[in-house]
Homo-oligomer: A and B are copies of this chain.
Amino acid sequence: MTEAPAQDRGARSRDAILDTAGELMARYGYAATSISMISSACGLPTSSLYWHFGSKDGIYVAVLQRSRTELLAALPPTEVPGADVTQRLDTFLAEVRGAFERHPHGLRLLLGLGMVQQDASAAAVAEVRQYRDALVVWARESVSAVFGLRDRPEVADELARFTLRTASGTAVARWFDPGIALETGPLRVALLALAAHHGVPVRGVPGEDAPSHGLTNRE
């Protein structure tokens, strides 16, 4: 048991490095996170970090890649089940809220590391953009499925942007107040109103209040 299962040692160290690096970079940002911080936080010498990832930049790219993979896997599938719009919307929002809760690092990484431009390599910048793009595509397809917008791509775009802006803004607010959760209640009302505003058929038309499915999420 103390004898590590053969060559797993390397993989476990790799994961440990990524864990602590992700944690620190999400908290302090890329530039403010030093190799020695990571090293002392995870217990491995700096040379091990370099052996595994080659450079600080390499660590950053690897952290982003893993975060992207995990977050996308945690996000609800773009084919949302449900009979009508409000049902699908509630399912969708509940899952988004859950993913946002369980993976607080994703957006933080994009925020803190997004400010790179200068010292980051081309690979790093590319990975940041890919992360962002993946979220945009996911959001567009999801709202498209929820509201049935296959033939109204501009509307799907607008709703997706709106959802992502809210999520990003909440991630920012979280810096000041770590306890803050994604407020799906107001977002729900807003998305339904926006859809209706564009003439998208919605059963629970605004005017009559939306039924509270226990999703109102006010403190």
Query: Which residues between 146 and 197 of chain A lie within 8 Å of chain B, taking CB atoms?
Result: 154, 158, 161-162, 164-173, 175-176, 183, 186, 189-190, 192-194, 196-197
Is A115 on the interface with B (CB-CB < 8 A)? Answer: yes
Is A32 on the interface with B (CB-CB < 8 A)? Answer: yes
Is A7 on the interface with B (CB-CB < 8 A)? Answer: no
Assess A28 versus B31: contact at CB under 8 Å? Given A115-B112, A169-B168: yes
How many residues of chain A get a CB closer than 8 Å to chain B's CBs? 48
Tell me if B206 and A193 are in contact (CB < 8 A). yes
Tell me if B164 and A165 are in contact (CB < 8 A). no
Tell me if A29 and B186 are in contact (CB < 8 A). no
Is A218 on the interface with B (CB-CB < 8 A)? Answer: yes
List chain B residues, Cβ under 8 A from A162. 166, 183, 186, 190
Tell me if A197 and B209 are in contact (CB < 8 A). yes
- A contacts, CB < 8 Å to B: 27-32, 110-112, 114-119, 129, 132, 154, 158, 161-162, 164-173, 175-176, 183, 186, 189-190, 192-194, 196-197, 205-207, 209-210, 218
Listed by A's residue number, 20 A-B pairs whose Cβ atoms lie within 8 Å are A29-B32, A29-B115, A111-B115, A111-B172, A112-B115, A158-B186, A158-B218, A165-B165, A168-B168, A168-B172, A168-B173, A169-B172, A172-B172, A189-B193, A189-B194, A190-B194, A193-B193, A193-B194, A197-B206, A206-B206
- The list of the 3 closest CB pairs from A to B, nearest first, reads A165-B169, A193-B193, A190-B190
